[in-house]
Amino acid sequence: MEKEIFKAPLDSRSTCNLSERSRGRTFVETGAFRPHGGESQKVVFDSLGEFDAFTTTSALYPVADMVEQPPAIEYIDADGRKRSKRVDQLYTFADGSKYAAEIKPAERARAQNLEVQLGYVAAAMPDDFADNLVLITEENYDQWEALNARRLFAYRREDDPEAAAIIAELAAEIDLPVTIRELVARGAIGGRAWPEIFKAIYAGILRPIQDGVIDLDMLVEGGLQ
């Protein structure tokens, strides 16, 4: 059997050192992101909110790439003063569209009237930087969505084509809703089934009967045919 060789993820492309900015902040780093389905890329986040925004966005949309803390944008504020703003995340989607995202707790964003400020930043963005600038807060997603997205992000680190094919075949044979526990049993591949079932749900191959945290008791039915 060939020995697997560990390959370290590529370095973060952040334009600032987040880990040194403040001891009072939550710092998250992962090497599990695989932009364009290629080599692992190290990404860093200034808060759990930024991490959740990234994982939920990646779960729901076809993210081809994401650069954290991209170069700052120079803009003129409402009072005519020159300012500089570095957004939190810059996404490139599979269709080539690019969106910049600012991540903030909802209360802080309202207190700072952040949407108005971001309007001036968006107006100053170079055409090749992004198509739009959006504000993301914890009010844009439910906590169960964030939990599911974190798990999906972890499961996407590894590919298991054989297990994925087995789950897809089982999904096509479902006549009535079944629990994920039952689907795992039918697959007869042990723990390999769970990550692929999780990924199959987000790929539309399986469809949950109700929204919520994905667990073994969740009822699912066949999705895409």
- The domain 18-143 having CATH identifier 3.40.1350.10: the answer here is yes
β-bridge pairing 98-103 and 132-136: parallel
CATH number of 160-222: 1.10.10
Distances (CA, A) of 9 to 34, 39, 40, 43, 56: 9, 7, 5, 9, 22
Tell me, yes or no, if the two domains 18-143 and 160-222 fold the same way.
no
Of 15 and 96, more confident = 96
* pLDDT value, residue 28: 55
User: Would you state the pLDDT for residue 24?
Assistant: 47
Contact 86, 16 (CB under 8 A): yes
Q: Tokens in use for 132?
A: 């739009």
pLDDT at residue 204, rounded to an integer:
94
Looking at the predicted structure, is the pLDDT value of residue 19 above 50? yes
**Which long-range contacts does 28-32 make (Cβ < 8 Å, 24+ apart)?**
30/153, 32/153, 32/154, 32/156, 32/157
Per-residue pLDDT tens digits for 168-194: 999 999 989 999 999 999 999 999 999
**3-class DSSP state of 80:** coil
Q: What is the mean pLDDT of the chain?
A: 86
Return d(Cα 158, Cα 87) in angstroms, integer.
Answer: 30
Report the share of the chain in percent with pLDDT over 90: 68
Q: Strands 73-76, 82-85: parallel, antiparallel or unpaired by DSSP?
A: antiparallel
Q: Domain residues of the chain, as ranges?
A: 18-143, 160-222
